[in-house]
Amino acid sequence: MKHETKPPMRLTAGLPAWTLRGVVLCAVVLIVIVQARQGVGVLPLTIIAVVGVLSVTAPGTPAPAFLIVATAVATLAVSEDPFEFAVLALIPLVHVVHIGCALAAVIPGTARVHAAALRPAAVRFGIVQAVVFGLAGVAALVPKTVTPAALEVTALLGGAALAVLATRMILNRPQ
């Protein structure tokens, strides 16, 4: 079978690397706006905004992780219904922050980004969000009754086992 080689890619200017950080900044601004409308206090909002700015300027630091946790905790504090629009809007936004910071962290601020490079990440983002919203849909259908203690303990042990497994997979992955 004849192996067909692709034609060489002509190197063009592409987009500035700050486009990625701009996307993260937009997501951070939207997170702050949504949380302000949810009724989150000024101090938590300030903390989220500061950590958000840090995430944009230094995406390779723990700042994005703090931002995601702070957003989740603040939403938990003010939200009564997990299926309200604000909560569902925040889920893709924190995911955008996660992916945007992950990509921005591996290139310098002066780099050029070619749109074709972001296509696989965008497709995966859509798939993951579809799975998460499917999960939310399933959760919305489940009756809100008290779960038997044995089932909860089993679920907890299962979660712990998953965490240990994931950690071991990372540490023992062949280099």
Partner 1 sequence: MNNRVLRWMRGQRDTGRWRNTDAMYRAVVVGVGLVVAGVLLHELVLVLFGAPLLISAMLAMTRPQPAEPVVHQPTLPRALEQSQLAEAVFDIDAGPGVELVALRAPHGKTRGAGPVHLLPGNVEQVRTTLGHGGWGEGVDLRLDRLFAGPDALRVYGPIVGTEGRRTILPPVKVLPAGPLPPRPSGLVGVHRSPRPGDSTELRDIPAFQPGDRLRRIDWRVSLRTSAATGGVMSPSALHVRERHADADASLVLAIDTRVDVGAHVGEWASAMIGNGVRAGGSLDTSVLAACSLAASYLRQGDRVGLVDLGRPQLSLAPGTGSRQLLKIRHQLVICARSAGWASKPVLRPQQAPAGSLVMVLSPFLDDAMVELTATVVRRGTRVLAMDLLPEHLIAAERDPWGEAVLRVLRAEHAVRLQTLREHGIPVLRWGDEASATLRVLARGRR
Binding to partner 1 (CB under 8 A): which residues in 29-58? none
Q: For residues 101 and 150, what is the distance between their CA atoms, to the nearest angstrom?
A: 40
- Of 1 and 175, CB closest to partner 1: 175
Q: With CB under 8 A as the contact rule, which of the stretches 2-10, 23-31, 37-45, 46-54 interacts with partner 1?
A: 2-10
SS3 label, residue 113: strand
Q: Classify the phi-psi angles of 7: left when phi > 0, otherwise alpha if psi is within -120 to 50, otherwise beta.
A: beta
Give Cβ neighbours of residue 132 (< 8 Å, ≥ 6 apart): 91
13 in contact with partner 1 (CB under 8 A): yes
11 in contact with partner 1 (CB under 8 A): yes
- In degrees, rounded to 5, the angle at the alpha carbon of residue 102 between the alpha carbons of residues 98 and 106 is 165
Considering only 38, 57, 61, 89, the residue that binds partner 1 (CB under 8 A) is 61
Tokens of 56: 């944009």
Considering only 29, 37, 85, 112, the residue that binds partner 1 (CB under 8 A) is 112
Considering only 37, 121, 126, 137, the residue that binds partner 1 (CB under 8 A) is 121
Q: With CB under 8 A as the contact rule, which of the stretches 25-33, 34-42, 43-51, 73-81 interacts with partner 1?
A: 73-81
Considering only 23, 24, 51, 94, the residue that binds partner 1 (CB under 8 A) is 94
- Of 47 and 107, CB closest to partner 1: 107
Residue from 45, 29, 47, 46 nearest 93 by CA: 29
